[in-house]
Amino acid sequence: MAGDAALFRLHAGLPRQAPGSDACTREALQRLPRLPSVPTVVDFGCGPGRSALVLAGTLRARVIALDLHQPFLDQLKEAADGRGLSRLIEARRGDMAAPGFAPGTLDLIWSEGAIYLLGFASGLRLWRPLLTPRGFIVVSECSWLSAERPAEAAAFWREAYPAMGGIADNVARARAEGFAVLGTLVLPEQAWWEEYYGPLLARVERLRSQADAPLRAAIRALLAEVDLFRRYRHAYGYVFYLMRRADQRVEPAAPPRPRTARARARVPAPDPAGTAV
């Protein structure tokens, strides 16, 4: 348990618990077909809730953000208050392996960097019954990016995540679980550094001098992981998978209507609290 405490000390209060960015979340969301005007949205394994904030701010819809770790939920509540989104965010303590939603009630299930805890195929199998007939699932998952799998990287991931697959593997798994894959989006390299490894490495520098044995071990493991990514970032990365139920008929998004100058003049300015992410 000392190792778990060291990991939480290393990660506590940081913006993200996995690679990602607000821009990547927004881009993946914008690639989906049309959602209902008032969608039911959940973010499973939300961590500190950066993706939940983007979803709520972009959709202007209520988002239920689910996580087992109460400090992450407290961090999300504080961030939502600061962005004027508290009325749209419900930070709920719960287990994504038993989320407690009735079947056929969710329009959008979102999960960034968390489905690996269940297994990619197992998580999809568990969550599919919760979707409405026209519902969508979007997850980000660490994946091999090419057939080239350097021996050192393969050995690391064989121990850290034995079921890790390539993009084609995960697309096949999703189809086997009854999904149509609408598309994939590989996160750019900066999504690993700017809000994940960068803040973690800054935390390491602050804690290194006062670290006890468990924390020193956690720091060594992190630095080895960072060095591995520096050398083999071409071989693996995080990938968004955008999916719908395979039995679903999707209405394409309506093309934007051209606006006259008079109509444009009537469009209100965007709400800064809603668009800041």
Residue 260 confidence (pLDDT): 42
* Residue-number span of the structural domain to which 175 is assigned: 22-201+235-243
Q: Which of 236, 238, 235, 207 is CA-nearest to residue 223?
A: 207
| Pair type for strands 236-245 and 179-186 | antiparallel
Residue 6 confidence (pLDDT): 87
Is residue 114 one of the residues assigned to a domain? yes
User: Which ranges constitute the DSSP H helices of the chain?
Assistant: 2-11, 22-30, 50-59, 70-82, 120-127, 151-160, 167-176, 190-192, 198-207, 213-232, 261-266, 272-275
Q: How far apart are CA 21 and CA 251, in angstroms?
A: 28
| Pair type for strands 236-245 and 131-144 | antiparallel
Each residue's pLDDT expressed in tens, for the chain with a length of 277 residues? 566 888 888 888 899 999 999 999 999 999 999 999 999 999 999 999 999 999 999 999 999 999 999 999 999 999 999 999 999 999 999 999 999 999 999 999 999 999 999 999 999 999 999 999 999 999 999 999 999 899 999 999 999 999 999 999 999 999 999 999 999 999 999 999 999 999 999 999 999 888 899 999 999 999 999 999 999 999 999 999 999 999 876 555 444 444 444 433 333 333 333 333 2
Is residue 258 one of the residues assigned to a domain? no
Task: From residue 205, give the alpha-carbon distance in Å to each of 19, 196, 209, 214, 231.
Answer: 20, 15, 8, 16, 22
Residue 247 confidence (pLDDT): 87
Q: How far apart are CA 262 and CA 81, in angstroms?
A: 36
Chain centroid to CA 230: how far? Answer: 22
Sign of the torsion formed by the C-alpha atoms of 47, 50, 54 and 60: positive
3-state class (DSSP) for residue 210 = helix
Residue 102 confidence (pLDDT): 98
Is residue 178 one of the residues assigned to a domain? yes
Q: How far apart are CA 78 and CA 98, in angstroms?
A: 26
Is residue 75 one of the residues assigned to a domain? yes
Residue 272 confidence (pLDDT): 36
Question: Residue 157's domain is classified under what CATH number?
Answer: 3.40.50.150
| Number of structural domains in the chain | 1
Is residue 6 one of the residues assigned to a domain? no
Is residue 251 one of the residues assigned to a domain? no
| pTM for this prediction | 0.87
Is residue 142 one of the residues assigned to a domain? yes
Is residue 211 one of the residues assigned to a domain? no
